[in-house]
Amino acid sequence: MKDLILKITSNKWNYYLSLVSDFLTAMVFLGLSIHYSTDLWSSISLFVVGAIFFTFLEYAVHAWLFHKDHPLKVFIEGHAHHHQNPFSGDAFAIVGGLTLGYFNYGIMHHIMHRREFLSNYWKYMQEFHFVHHKKPLLNHGVTTDIWDRVFGTYYQWNEEDLKGMEKLKRIKKK
């Protein structure tokens, strides 16, 4: 299985497909922003700010996670492998997973503000996220509550905390 994954991720078509899909993903998010915004120039300006902010994230992750000595050696060792063999496919796999994670975040956040959920899991995650709108220092996760629990920012809400939640949804009436 590993050989198959390496063969796919090392293939030049995977490289070019990744470039195209990353660009298209960015354009879809820009399109969604323009569609749901009331200010075209605000959407375009924030899109540019996001692209500029990425340069900081690029630096921070590369310098501090991949090259600085810290207890999470798997990142340092994995990046060292990339330096030794830049076309091994490992970096493509990680970037692909990050892209999928970000796509998942974007879709979940979008849907949470536009749907009524019947499923206990989705209702829980929606309430978890909406509490963050009232208590911005708590419940930061959108796709999971795990990291809030790990870092002590998890807040278990009550009915009072959910009052006014309907204002956080943009549900089109039929």
For the segment 100-119, what is each residue's pLDDT rounded down to a tens digit? Answer: 888 899 889 988 988 889 99
Q: Are residues 35 and 72 in the same domain?
A: yes
Q: Are residues 33 and 88 in the same domain?
A: yes
**Of 96, 110, 117, 169, the residue nearest 143 (C-alpha):** 110
| Per-residue pLDDT tens digits for 43-71 | 999 999 999 999 999 999 999 998 999 99
2 or 129, greater pLDDT:
129
DSSP state of 173: P
Q: Are residues 37 and 71 in the same domain?
A: yes
**Which domain range does residue 91 map to?**
1-112
- Rounded to two decimals, the pTM is 0.66
> What is the rounded distance in angstroms from the CA atom of residue 157 to the CA atom of residue 132?
10
Q: Are residues 130 and 106 in the same domain?
A: no
- Beta-strand ranges (E) seen in 48-161 are none
| Structure-block tokens of residue 115 | 């749907």
Say how many residues make up the chain: 174
Mean pLDDT along residues 138-149: 96
Q: Are residues 98 and 127 in the same domain?
A: no
* Domain termination residue (choose one: 65, 88, 112): 112
Count helices and strands (H / E) in the chain: 7, 0
